[in-house]
Amino acid sequence: MKSKIMLGFAVCAGLFLCSQNVYASRAQGTDLSRYQGYTAVKGQASDEFAISQIGGINTGGIYTQATYQSQVATGIAQGLRMHTYIWYQVSSDISKAKQCMDFFLPRIQTPKRSIVALDYEDGASASVAANTDAILYGMRRISDAGYTPVYYSYKPYTLAHVDYKRILAEFPNSLWIAAYKDYSVTTTPDYAYFPTMDGVAQWQFTSMYRAGGLDGNVDLTGITHNGYRKGDAAKPVSKPTAVKQGIKADNTPKTDIKAGYTVKVNFSAGKWASGQYIPSWVHGKAYRVQQVSGNRVLLAGIMSWISRNDVEILQTSAQAKQTSGSTYT
């Protein structure tokens, strides 16, 4: 997800447990950018949410992520509560912050009240006060637009460049902080390495949520339920285009699977139609359906037959055709 990788520092888990209501959720999920491709990726079968990058602003100006809409749609199809983040390299420039918000807020494809996070980890100015002003400007705009504003960064960068207490005074429990124990595959958070700060709603605890690399996050307060009635991905409080697409795919019966559909191999799938065992690295991956025969579907790329019952529909053939470019503008 990020341009910089950071290591967490060991802290007293007891202090953390006393200062944070960690029992409120502890749901786990991922964050996604164009590097994960056009379909939302789960790190674990039990994941409940994902946060997809819509694009951002840097020294070159505004840029978008062509993968955003389809990631949101395919995440909803998998039962994930989908949220949004923006790369927010505005330094302390309010005019640049305004340009960023003016462009992206009308293009958000996750439900109202869902998270819209500002990824602030590069390009800060020498003025802590001015940097914080620019961040608060963006968070106020997000709140005014009907979404849940969140600040993302890592602890050392925040302490050096941002007055996060000012952020929390206006937006309590709005921090999403990254800190990693190490770079080994990590599927559950080790709270001895929690980046102790007030107001942390989410912790990005690893960049190796699975082999090959994927960010893993834990929701400590229930914030990822925002935008979804009773935390149900199938019950968003509003339905932008991507959300409608995801719900449609989720409600499509498997008997309708045709060539051109995009499906995910279920984590519970044990054997190919041939009787051979399915390798673990296939579980959770998305494939285009190349051919259908009876109760079996042929997965393109891997060229293996699998039972319809062992896959989950992510996109219909019509939706899959829309993933070749940016479709949310």
Domains along the sequence of the chain with CATH: 13-245 (3.20.20.80), 252-324 (2.30.30)
Residue with tokens 């978008």: 64
Residue 22 has pLDDT above 90, yes or no: no
d(CA 201, CA 199): 6
Contact 11, 196 (CB under 8 A): yes
User: What pTM value is reported for the model?
Assistant: 0.91
Predicted pLDDT of residue 329: 33
Helices vs strands, H then E, count in the chain: 8, 14
> 174-233 pLDDT, tens per residue?
999 999 999 999 999 999 999 999 999 999 999 999 989 999 999 999 999 999 999 999
Tell me the catalytic residues: 31, 119, 121
Q: 64-102 burial by CB neighbour count: b if 16+ within 10 A, else e?
A: bbebbbbbbbbbbbbbbbbbbbbbbbbbbbeebbeebbe
Residue 9 has pLDDT above 90, yes or no: no
Mean pLDDT for the stretch of residues 290-296: 96
Contact 265, 278 (CB under 8 A): yes
Residues 6+ apart with CB under 8 A from 149: 116, 117, 118, 138, 139, 140, 142, 143, 171, 174
Mean pLDDT for the stretch of residues 142-149: 98
d(CA 108, CA 141): 13
Identify the band that residue 320 occupies on the pLDDT scale cut at 50, 70 and 90.
Answer: confident
Mean pLDDT for the stretch of residues 247-256: 95
% pLDDT > 70, the chain: 90
Predicted pLDDT of residue 129: 98
Rounded to the nearest integer, the mean pLDDT of the chain is 91
Query: What are the start-end ranges of the E strands in 179-320?
Result: 200-206, 216-219, 262-265, 286-293, 296-299, 304-307, 311-315
> 89-136 pLDDT, tens per residue?
999 999 999 999 999 999 999 999 999 999 999 999 999 999 999 999
Identify the band that residue 323 occupies on the pLDDT scale cut at 50, 70 and 90.
Answer: low
Distances in whole angstroms, Cα of residue 65 to Cα of each of 37, 45, 55, 72, 215: 10, 26, 5, 12, 18
For residue 323, give both structure tokens: 């993933």
Contact 4, 122 (CB under 8 A): yes
Identify the band that residue 80 occupies on the pLDDT scale cut at 50, 70 and 90.
Answer: very high
Residue 318 has pLDDT above 60, yes or no: yes
- Name the helix (H) or strand (E) containing 32: strand 27-32
Q: Using DSSP, state whether 121 is helix, strand or coil.
A: coil
